[in-house]
């Protein structure tokens, strides 16, 4: 007989891991900003090309931090993996 409380239990994320993932997320985001500033100097930091990827980064980090292993974190990962598969139509 399984314990339903055990199924929903998720181990807390160690603070060191949270800091590492936050730093890597910031590094990724700042790389995008530097790339955009070099290739498109007239692009504003409030342009949709900058704001939307920033919101996606923040949302994915928040979903991961809320509980890795939960569907809120697994669904975006699945979408990314499906988009990266070779031979897709678009």
Q: CA of 72: how far to CAs of 6, 8, 60, 83, in Å? A: 19, 13, 9, 18
pLDDT in tens, 4-49: 544 455 567 788 888 888 888 888 888 888 888 898 888 888 888 8
Q: How far apart are CA 57 and CA 6, in angstroms?
A: 30
Domain annotation covers residue 7: no
For residue 47, give both structure tokens: 């342009």
Domain annotation covers residue 63: yes
Domain annotation covers residue 1: no
pLDDT in tens, 49-83: 888 888 888 887 887 777 666 666 667 667 767 76
Domain annotation covers residue 43: yes
Domain annotation covers residue 31: yes
Q: How far apart are CA 33 and CA 27, in angstroms?
A: 10
Q: How far apart are CA 59 and CA 71, in angstroms?
A: 14
Domain annotation covers residue 4: no
Q: How far apart are CA 26 and CA 42, in angstroms?
A: 23
What range does the domain containing 56 cover?
15-84
Domain annotation covers residue 30: yes
User: In total, how many domains does the chain have?
Assistant: 1
């Amino acid at each position: 007989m399984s314990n339903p409380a055990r199924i929903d239990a998720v181990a807390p994320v160690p603070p060191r891991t949270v800091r590492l993932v936050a730093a890597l997320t910031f590094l990724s985001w700042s790389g995008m900003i530097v790339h955009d500033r070099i290739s498109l100097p007239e692009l504003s930091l409030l342009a949709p090309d900058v704001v939307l990827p920033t919101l996606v980064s923040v949302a994915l980090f928040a979903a991961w931090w809320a509980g890795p292993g939960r569907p809120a974190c697994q669904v975006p990962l699945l979408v990314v993996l499906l988009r990266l598969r070779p031979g897709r139509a678009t």
